[in-house]
Amino acid sequence: MAFEKDFNLDATELRLGLPGTSEESEKQASTTLRISNKRAMTDMNEDSSVAADKKCDQETAPPTKAQVVGWPPIRSYRKNSLQTKKTEAETCGMYVKVSMDGAPYLRKIDLKMYKGYPELLKALEDMFKFKVGKYSEREGYNGSEFVPTYEDKDGDLMLVGDVPWGMFINSCKRLRIMKGSEARGLRCVV
Amino acid sequence: MSEDDERQRSPPSDLDFVSNKARNCNATGSGSGHPEFQSAYPDQVLENVLENVLHFLTSKRDRNAASLVCKSWYRVEALTRSELLIGNCYAVSPARVTARFARVRALHLKGKPRFADFNLMPPDWGAHFNPWALAMAKAYPWLEKVHLKRMSVTDDDLVALAELFLGFKELSLVCCDGFGTGGLAIFVNKCRQLKVLDLMESEVTDDDTDWISCFPEGESHLESLIFDCVECHINFEALERLVARSPSLKKLRLNRYVSIEQLYHLMIRAPQLTHLGTGSFSPPEIAGQGDQEPDYVNAFVACKSLVCLSGFREIIPDYLPAIYPVCANLTSLNFSYANITAEQLKPIISKCHKLQVFWVLDSICDEGLQAVAATCKELRELRVFPVDAREDSDGPVSDVGLRAISEGCWKLQSILYFCQRMTNAAVIAMSKNCPDLVVFRLCIMGRHRADHVTGEPMDDGFGAIVMNCKKLTRLAVSGLLTDKAFDYIGRHGKLLRTLSVAFAGDSDMGLKYVLEGCPKLQKLEIRDSPFGDAALCSGLHLYYNMRFLWMSSCSLTRHGCQEIARGMPHLVVEVIRSSDEEMDDAVEILYMYRSLEGPRTDAPKFVTIL
């Protein structure tokens, strides 16, 4: 039903569960018992619609309880208002465009998905099918065909990796994967 | 906006009752000894006298009582009642209403039950304003005020209001949906006499229409403009011009798309405001031109009449000191969208000596509540909402805060408190310290959570509330509760009109205690509690006196509900399911209410009326 789907954040949800484990199977009436040992595994981050399951909660006592429709009794308007603020505060620098010299169209990635530079670079390499060389503070990405760069808040073109990760996330406005030959001058900027 | 406002408090058979009386009243000769009722005087004179007298009667209870005296009184009362309050739009039809009452100027109408606010009811259940709009247009073309709560209102309905009622003055939509800025635009444009447009907690679709610009040019009669729930950008220049040409404007509540700088410009144009909703209370995203920020303090200094402050939708706490000048006069402060700490609250609240109504987020923690208790000795109503509305979130407020409030704010009449940890002792303390409590709503967010110190159920706490708070009419319970809690409620909750129950009780006895013990019960809403058909049957004597009963995810069966429906012809028994599956005997949602009209004809497919 539509009103259940409103809370279905499966598509964007972060989970620890194995792919394929899902809370989706809850078309059941809320009074039925559901003893699921998947509960302990899946990360209950979503405030989505899961059938109320009071007995189950008491028996399995999972680390976090699945959220129940309409509980606690706060109107969605209020819930959404507070959540909007949280996510708006967190979206500073989250989704950035990524362009690659020579590629026909841009991509977009969510910087929050990555814990640090190694993961980010790996993701970019996979996405655009290229390899970066090893990064060093002195030499930048010496010896790579492509070099990851980014445009920061001030509009300057910077080399990815020079600043601490936290600072990078907050200041990165877009990413650009430049041809190695063009990027040579960037090492000297910092 | 009281809770007890149904036009018919007594069973629908009051119409029969009146005609019985009429037979006696119109008989010749009066044995009663009242000189006014001598048979020499025709009924017409009596009615004229009555009419003059009854004009002064405003309370709906008094009017209902008057209408039951005899046929004459019934008729005259119906002629003179100008304000109609219908607590359940399905209890009575527009046709019946317009047939009885001749000169209605104001209509209050309520639709969906409250649990619909929490997504427990599938959408498109009903409560359409449209049939009422059309009926009113024919019967009461002089209608001036419409107040709707939890109704579905379409753009066409808004247009109808503006076009068919020439002197229309006041529209108030609370928790409504179904309309958008397109409908609003036409409404404000055609309503030349508009004084009040209050949109509160309603869902307004963004049709990309600049409705603010649609107010007609020239001086406006606007006294109240509330649109803090409208989630779309507005044309600020048009709003500024509107405020400038509304000299009677007393209440203005802006939405979060108005920056603090824009707020400044509005405030200096409307220093006569008494109620202000500040909008975002933060600077616009794009840094303003020039380094000079306006002197916000001055704007607040200028608003000498300000008594009610709200908004702060995206507050930057640095700007809070701007409101210091008005704190001493504030009777109502709504910080329930402002994620501020105790430290940020203290300098404000310490100045709010006259505060009577305070809504706040639990981000202020117990410490913040202690600060409230220290200063706000006039506090009548407190609402503490959670920043993080999940069962397993951290609970920044607890029994400590509740106790502090009870010790500092002894005049408290109404409380709504969301928390994660509570003790019986604190609740008992409140029951003793705040004898004037009329509304006690405690929501312990973790289901079935016991007293966190003793590990016991919360029975004794709620028991103390019903025992000690002799004026209590509204109660919402939570936490781990056994049937004993309901026993207390049944024994002592003699004035209770509204009761909300969730995840509580052990057996049918729980519900039985309440139904057998609370004679004044009007609204009973229960979810996820183990009450079944037997319990339902113990309320037959009560249901015609109640506005509604809601039971979802309990242990009811279709069979049991059918029995009730069969035995009570003036009760509409709706069984609602939330999915497309074939209905088996278990009832997901029961919503039943008294009605003079029988089953409604606009019920959607997922509703079965037994």
Using the Cα atoms of residue B327, residue B333, residue B334 and residue B340 in order, give the sign of their dihedral: positive
For residue A109, pLDDT beyond 50: yes
Chain B residues close to A58, C-beta within 8 Å: 448
Chain A residues close to B583, C-beta within 8 Å: none
Dist. CA B458–CA B479, nearest whole Å: 6
Instruction: State the pLDDT at residue B380.
Output: 98
What integer best gives the mean pLDDT of chain B?
89
- Tell me the ipTM for this assembly: 0.83
* B399-408 and B365-375 helices, crossing angle to 10°: 0
Dist. CA B66–CA B70, nearest whole Å: 8
Instruction: Please compute the mean of the pLDDT values over residues A33-55 and round it to a whole number.
Output: 37
Asked if B203's CB is within 8 angstroms of A77's CB, the reply is yes
Q: Which residue has the higher pLDDT, B596 or A50?
A: B596
Q: Which residue has the higher pLDDT, A39 or B355?
A: B355
pLDDT digits (tens, 9 = 90+) for B360-403: 999 999 999 999 999 999 999 999 999 998 888 888 999 999 99
For residue A88, pLDDT beyond 60: no
Instruction: State the pLDDT at residue B293.
Output: 81
- Cβ-Cβ contacts under 8 Å between A and B: the total is 107
A65 touches B at CB < 8 Å: yes
pLDDT digits (tens, 9 = 90+) for B138-188: 999 999 999 999 999 999 999 999 999 989 999 999 999 999 999 999 999
Instruction: State the pLDDT at residue B289.
Output: 54
Q: Which of A52, A71, A82 is nearest residue B387 as measured by Cβ atoms?
A: A82
Q: Which of B314, B527, B588 is nearest residue A85 as measured by Cβ atoms?
A: B314
Q: Which of B362, B528, B581, B583 best probes binding to A when mutated, by most A CB atoms within 10 angstroms?
A: B528
Chain A residues close to B362, C-beta within 8 Å: none
Q: Which residue has the higher pLDDT, B83 or B477?
A: B477
For residue B493, pLDDT beyond 90: yes
Instruction: Please compute the mean of the pLDDT values over residues A150-176 and round it to a whole number.
Output: 87
Kindly state the tokens that stand for B127. Answer: 């409560």
For residue B505, pLDDT beyond 90: yes
Asked if B117's CB is within 8 angstroms of A75's CB, the reply is yes
pLDDT digits (tens, 9 = 90+) for B443-455: 999 999 999 999 9
Please state, in angstroms and as integers, the Cα–Cα distance from residue A7 to each residue in A4, A80, A168, B73, following that order: 6, 12, 32, 54
Q: Which of B388, B447, B501, B580 best probes binding to A when mutated, by most A CB atoms within 10 angstroms?
A: B447
* B71-80 and B14-25 helices, crossing angle to 10°: 120
A13 touches B at CB < 8 Å: no
pLDDT digits (tens, 9 = 90+) for B248-260: 999 999 999 999 9
What one-character DSSP code corresponds to residue A126?
Answer: H
For residue A112, pLDDT beyond 70: yes
Please state, in angstroms and as integers, the Cα–Cα distance from residue A8 to each residue in A24, A28, A44, B298, B445, following that order: 9, 16, 12, 47, 21
pTM of the model: 0.74
Instruction: Please compute the mean of the pLDDT values over residues B91-98 and round it to a whole number.
Output: 93
Percent of chain B with pLDDT over 90: 78
Instruction: State the pLDDT at residue B35.
Output: 44
pLDDT digits (tens, 9 = 90+) for B185-211: 999 999 999 999 999 999 999 999 999
Kindly state the tokens that stand for B227. Answer: 């649109």
Instruction: State the pLDDT at residue A59.
Output: 40
Residue B98, φ and ψ in degrees, nearest 5: -70, -25
Q: Confidence band (pLDDT; 50, 70, 90) for A164? A: confident
Stated as kind and residue range, the H or E segment containing A60 is helix A54-60
DSSP string, A77-88: HHHHHHHHHHHH
Chain B residues close to A71, C-beta within 8 Å: 118, 391, 445, 447, 502-503
Q: B389 vs chain A: nearest CA distance in angstroms?
A: 6
Q: Confidence band (pLDDT; 50, 70, 90) for B465? A: very high
Query: Could you tell me which residues of chain B have a Cβ less than 8 Å from any Cβ in chain A?
Result: 115, 117-120, 122-123, 175, 201, 203, 229, 256, 313-314, 336-337, 339, 361, 385-387, 389-392, 418, 443, 445-448, 502-503, 527-528, 553-555, 578-581, 586, 588
Select the highest-mean-pLDDT range: B223-227, B287-291, B390-394.
B223-227
Q: Which residue has the higher pLDDT, B31 or B412?
A: B412
